[in-house]
Amino acid sequence: MPRKPEYVLIAETLKAEVLAGAYDDEPLPGNATLAERFDVNMKTAGRAIQQLVAEGIVIARPGLRAIPAPPQLRAIKWPMTGRYARARAAQDLLFANDVTGNVRKDTIQRTWIQAPIPVAQLLNIEVGTRIFQRCSRTYVDDVPAEDTSMFFPAAIVKAAPRLETDERIQVVRLIEAAGHVVTRTANEIRARHATPAEQALFGADPHGIVLEHSHGTYGADGEALEAVINVRPAHGNVITFDTYEAPIGNE
């Protein structure tokens, strides 16, 4: 089991203090004060606060010191602007209200490949670099509704080998258990004509349109953790994903 980074250990200490009520009447210390207290640099102190924000324990305020989240909201995830709600990641990126019908998600391929151009750009690596690819397919009432390809750098798979071996995975949990903190995603959505294979899969005609959603997931140091490409038909049982900039509950 890899040793936890310093900022995670600091965050755990601060979390215990927040939950004990130490900051009920005042904001958390600033980064400079935390850096001095824990004998680390200000960047590490800032990442510790960032970790608490990601866990929904404190609320970050631009230009001001962080404050504890109200007790009734501490079970709520506060995702950072520009990335998927962590609650969705914990639920395999599907909520019942996204679609109507019986939803099934099957893993259809797991293999090591050479990174193609769009994936290499998302992962900030050279084209042709060896990476791990997982492919899955989502069905609604047995009708194909989405094709998903996930790509992981070799270092991430080495740190979290269950990404390669397990039939079903919860990406964020596995990556964070390996010592990384998911802090943001870069997203790009485009509409394009379906390829022949996609026409056959989704039952589209030669002029059928699909929505291609690409995103890269990055850690606290800016390291690339994952790239994902989702392809969905533009009509029918479309699986939707939202990027939240406000708290979301467990519902």
- DSSP assignment of 33-94 equals HHHHHHT--HHHHHHHHHHHHHHTSEEEETTEEEEEPPGGGTTSB-PPTTSB-HHHHHTTT-
- The more confidently predicted of residues 86 and 21 is 21
The tens digit of pLDDT for each residue in 56-101 reads 788 766 577 888 877 765 654 443 333 343 434 344 444 444 456 6
Contact 31, 63 (CB under 8 A): no
User: In one letter, which amino acid is 13?
Assistant: T
Q: Is residue 184 predicted with pLDDT exceeding 80? A: no
High-pLDDT (> 70) share of the chain, %: 78
Q: What are phi and psi of 166, to 5 degrees?
A: -75, 145
How many CB atoms lie under 10 A from the CB of residue 150? Answer: 19
More confident residue, 248 or 18: 18
pTM tops 0.75:
no
**Cα atoms found within 13 Å of the Cα of residue 27, Cβ hemisphere only:** 14
Mean pLDDT of the chain: 80
H-only helix segments in 142-215: 154-159, 162-165, 171-177, 196-202
Per the listing, tokens 């400079």 go with: 32
Domains of the chain: 6-73 (1.10.10.10), 86-233 (3.40.1410.10)
Mean pLDDT of 191-195: 84
Higher pLDDT, 97 or 5: 5
Element (H, E) at 139: strand 130-140
Nearest 5°: the CA angle 167, 196, 136 is 10
CB atoms < 10 A from the CB of 123, how many?
23
Q: Is the CB of residue 210 less than 8 Å from the CB of residue 202? A: yes
pLDDT at residue 222 tops 60:
yes
CB–CB of 119/151 below 8 Å?
Answer: yes
pLDDT value at 49 more than 60 = yes
- Taking alpha carbons only, the member of 180, 250, 191 closest to residue 221 is 180
